[in-house]
Amino acid sequence: MIINYNVSGSDRKQLVAAIAEHTGEKAKYLGAPGFAYQIGGFTVSVDGKVTIEDNSTAAPLIHFLREKGFQAEDPLADCIADDANEDVEADEACGICISMPRSLFTESNLENLKALIAAKGNLIKKALGVDDLPIEVTDEKVSFPWFPAVPTPEELKAYDTFICKLCEMARNAKRVVAKEKETDNDKYAFRCFLLRLGFIGAEFKTERKILLCNPAGSSAFKSGQPKEVEVCE
């Protein structure tokens, strides 16, 4: 995971010092060509991007750096930082319900979220293997009781990241049209949606694999597998 703090010079050194204080690790300057600092499982680039090896350590670090006056530019960081307030409720019969703090959403954000789910509902249902996508809104939280079985840790991470990024898109979009497009290749269409949400690169390879497991079709070719072409000699 990479979080952008967009600092350089003396500000970057202060960021490095804060991470060292948080981790208890000594900062190691890596020199040319990258001129980065490494502090345990964290690396700070020359332009203030923090690479986090273990995603589970992201939320505590972001909280700590906030207290030190460092604010990340990535919208995803706000979502990650609220993981301490995020609920994941498990039940053997009903499965998993993931909840986000209600304070993250304006009324417009909630309308965007509902429209987004309406537009991509069939793809999401096929990906998760469910028949319905209810949203439960209270004064304290917005809940997604979408997951029918208690998942593995890797699956839970994929589902948690999916909900977080879905909410991030709803919060950042000016307007979402609740119109579903027909597709004859669900896997390809859902892969495109995941990329729009930000599931890009090797960092999210496992999450993409899990979320693309159920939809039918080919994720590589829009019209399915390419047909064999007969070569005339």
Residue 113 in contact with residue 78, Cβ under 8 Å?
Answer: no
Query: Is the predicted pLDDT of residue 185 greater than 70, yes or no?
Result: yes
The number of residues in the chain equals: 233
- The residue ranking higher by pLDDT, 55 or 221, is 55
- What is the average pLDDT value for the chain, to the nearest integer? 83
What's the average model confidence in pLDDT over 98-110? 90
Instruction: Quote the CA–CA distance of 160 and 167 in Å, as a whole number.
Output: 11
Domain residue spans of the chain = 2-74, 86-226
Tell me the mean pLDDT in the region 146-166. 85
Structural Rg of the chain based on CA atoms: 20
The pLDDT assigned to 82 comes to: 55
The more confident residue out of 164 and 81 is 164
Q: Which of 127-131, 135-139, 171-175, 221-225 has the lowest mean pLDDT?
A: 221-225
pLDDT at 228: 43
- Residue 61 has a pLDDT of 86
Distance CA 174, CA 168 (A): 12
Question: What pLDDT, on a 0 to 100 scale, did the predictor assign at position 153?
Answer: 80
Q: Where are the alpha helices (DSSP H) in 82-201?
A: 107-128, 153-172, 186-197
- Predicted local confidence at residue 93, as pLDDT: 47
3-state secondary structure 183-203: CCCHHHHHHHHHHHHCCCCHH
Between 144 and 76, whose confidence is greater? 144
Q: Long-range contact list for 191-196, CB < 8 A, 24+ apart?
A: 191/219, 193/120, 193/123, 196/169
H helix count then E strand count, the chain: 7, 9
Range in 70-74, 94-98, 108-112, 221-225 with the lowest mean pLDDT = 221-225
Residue 19 per-residue DSSP state = H
> How does pLDDT run across 110-155, given as a tens digit for each residue?
999 999 999 999 999 999 988 999 999 999 899 999 987 777 888 8
pLDDT of residue 80: 59
Greater confidence, 221 or 156? 156
Predicted confidence at residue 90, as pLDDT, reads 55
Mean pLDDT of 80-86: 52
The per-residue pLDDT for 16 is 96
Instruction: Identify the pLDDT of residue 190.
Output: 92
Contacts of 209 (CB under 8 A, 6+ apart): none
* % of residues, the chain, pLDDT over 70: 82
Which pLDDT score is estimated for 227? Answer: 45
CATH of 2-74, one of 2.130.10, 3.40.50, 1.10.1740, 3.30.310: 3.30.310
